[in-house]
Amino acid sequence: MTALERLRPDHAPALLSFERENRAYFAASVPDRGDDYFAGFDARHAELLAEQAAGMHHFHILADGDGAVLGRINLVDVAGGSAELGYRIAERAAGRGLATSGVRRVCELAFAEYGLTSLRARTTVDNDGSRAVLARAGFVEAGAMTLMGKPGLRFTRDLTDVGR
């Protein structure tokens, strides 16, 4: 059983472990967080929680029954009823539908709990897995862009039809 939980202070050790264990895996498709991220993790975690409390972002983890983090799904830059979706799933949990189910659940929360009416997302054209997750979660392509120096795509999701 996988639980979707809003980010809390006590998630810090498991989240740091998740980020360290998957650093190379994530760096293959998204920019590496850099050594400073890991060195200053505790301070950054506290900053993120303060920003979440202020309503600027909504951070979530996907945890297994033992509390190990299998993924994170975040809504950032909340403004005007919209936010940007970002997610990452542990290498050991990839390919099991966890990203799709987690993104769908966060879309429901975004509308029902956070009062958002739309979400944005982006990915590189060559990230077939991410494009498939977004499509299965109801996102539609909204234009081309350059992301990390590569061809990318923007996506949007109208949340007013969530749960229907």
71-112 pLDDT, tens digit per residue, is: 999 999 999 999 999 999 999 999 999 999 999 999 999 999
Domains located in the chain, CATH noted: 3-158 (3.40.630.30)
Give the Cα separation of 114 and 97 in Å (integer).
Answer: 24
pLDDT at 123: 93
| Strand 58-63, strand 140-147: pairing | unpaired
Whether residue 62 contacts residue 4, with contact meaning beta carbons closer than 8 Å, is answered with yes
Whether residue 102 contacts residue 96, with contact meaning beta carbons closer than 8 Å, is answered with no
pLDDT at 82: 98
pLDDT at 135: 97
Whether residue 25 contacts residue 19, with contact meaning beta carbons closer than 8 Å, is answered with no
Q: What is the pLDDT along the chain (164 residues), one digit of tens a residue?
A: 799 999 999 999 999 999 999 999 998 888 788 899 999 999 999 999 999 999 999 999 999 999 999 999 999 999 999 999 999 999 999 999 999 999 999 999 999 999 999 999 999 899 999 999 999 999 999 999 998 888 999 999 999 988 66
pLDDT at 163: 66
* R_g of the chain computed on alpha carbons: 15
DSSP string, 6-63: E--GGGHHHHHHHHHHTHHHHHTTS----HHHHHTHHHHHHHHHHHHHTTS-EEEEEE
pLDDT at 148: 80
Q: Exposed, middle or buried, 47 (CB in 10 Å: 0-12/13-18/19+)?
A: exposed
